[in-house]
């Protein structure tokens, strides 16, 4: 039963493996070029574990940003994690001893793997979710250390491999679309984000998009929660 849970969790995490190793390596290389060794790259991956923010963070470190600027930038870039946590409160409620790590490790990709609340037949739910989170965490740390140590030495062209993260979200979106009858939440997410992108531009649209999504979903609730 135990190995079955771990095997299923590993299988679930495979789509993230290539993406995290490669994007993690990209981060490691960036840190190396900025003059930071493997221990620094590893420390950021271990303690922050937030992909896009780590890329932004390299700029903050080299640019000599202030503590306040760093705190505000981190808040802006990572505010979406509030939403991931809100929507996992119920799913994670019985996670017990695994819970602190699972909350810490709730990245975009881990969220997209676990947010539908489904688990394979015959696995222990809490342990399964823990191991999916844990495998992803390992890929990310390994990637950032490897990238930092090896530099840009990769035997074949990996141009375009970063698309695997986009593909992960598109697959999750499609799967959720096929599984649910009511497409209002999915369409709300797409439309609010597109609207926000058009109004605020590609640098600043994420937080307005989240507020707009929350507002729209809250207004839609009045029409009858049962229909959603």
Partner 1 sequence: MKSSLLIAVMAIVTILLRFIPFLMFRKHTPQYILYLGKVLPQAIIGMLVVFCLKDISPSGHLSGIPELTAVACVAGAQAWKRNSLLSILAGTILYMALVQTVFC
Task: Candidates 108-116, 118-126, 128-136, 146-154: pick the segment binding partner 1 (CB under 8 A).
Answer: 108-116
Of the residues 29, 30, 50, 132, which one makes contact with partner 1 according to CB under 8 A = 50
- Shortest CB 43 distance to partner 1, Å: 6
The answer to the question of residue 78 lying near partner 1 (CB under 8 A) is yes
Instruction: For the segment 8-27, give every residue that binds partner 1 (CB under 8 A).
Output: 11, 14-15, 18
Alpha carbon separation from 92 to 56, 88, 206, 207 (Å, rounded): 29, 6, 25, 25
Going from the C-alpha of 162 to that of each of 57, 58, 131, 144, the distances in angstroms are: 19, 19, 23, 15
Q: How far is the CB of 92 from partner 1 (least distance, A)?
A: 7
Q: Which residues contact 117 (CB under 8 A, 6 or more apart)?
A: 90, 91
> How far apart are alpha carbons 41 and 196 in whole angstroms?
33
Q: Is 20 exposed, middle or buried, given 0-12, 13-18 or 19+ CB atoms closer than 10 A?
A: buried
Which 166-185 residues touch partner 1, going by CB under 8 A?
166-178, 180, 184-185
Does residue number 82 form part of the binding site for partner 1 (CB under 8 A)? yes
DSSP codes joined into one string, 13-37: HHHHHHHHHHHHHHHHHHHHHTT--
Q: Least separation, in Å, of the C-beta of 150 and partner 1? A: 20
CB of 136 within 8 A of CB of 13?
Answer: yes
By beta-carbon proximity to partner 1, the closer residue of 102 and 142 is 102
- Nearest distance from C-beta of residue 225 to partner 1, angstroms: 6
225 binds partner 1 (CB under 8 A): yes
Q: For partner 1, which stretch binds (CB under 8 A), given 80-88, 121-129, 130-138, 144-152?
A: 80-88
């Amino acid at each position: 039963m135990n190995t079955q849970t771990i095997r299923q969790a590993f299988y679930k995490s495979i789509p993230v493996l290539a993406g995290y190793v490669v994007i993690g390596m990209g981060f490691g290389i960036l840190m190396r070029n900025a003059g930071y060794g493997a221990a620094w790259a590893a420390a950021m991956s271990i303690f922050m574990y937030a992909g896009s923010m780590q890329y932004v963070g390299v700029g903050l470190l080299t640019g000599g940003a202030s503590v306040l600027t760093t705190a505000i930038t981190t808040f802006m870039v990572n505010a979406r994690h509030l939403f991931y946590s809100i929507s996992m409160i119920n799913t994670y409620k019985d996670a017990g001893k695994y819970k602190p790590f699972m909350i810490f490790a709730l990245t975009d990709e881990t969220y997209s793997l676990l947010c539908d609340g489904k688990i394979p037949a015959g696995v222990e739910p809490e342990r399964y979710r823990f191991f999916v989170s844990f495998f992803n965490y390992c890929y990310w740390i390994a990637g950032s250390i490897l990238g930092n140590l090896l530099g840009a030495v990769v035997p074949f062209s990996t141009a375009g491999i970063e698309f695997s993260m986009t593909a992960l979200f598109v697959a999750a979106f499609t799967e959720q679309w096929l599984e649910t009858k009511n497409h209002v939440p999915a369409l709300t997410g797409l439309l609010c984000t597109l609207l926000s992108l058009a109004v605020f531009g590609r640098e600043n649209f994420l937080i307005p998009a989240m507020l707009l999504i929350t507002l729209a979903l809250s207004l839609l609730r009045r029409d009858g929660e049962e229909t959603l």
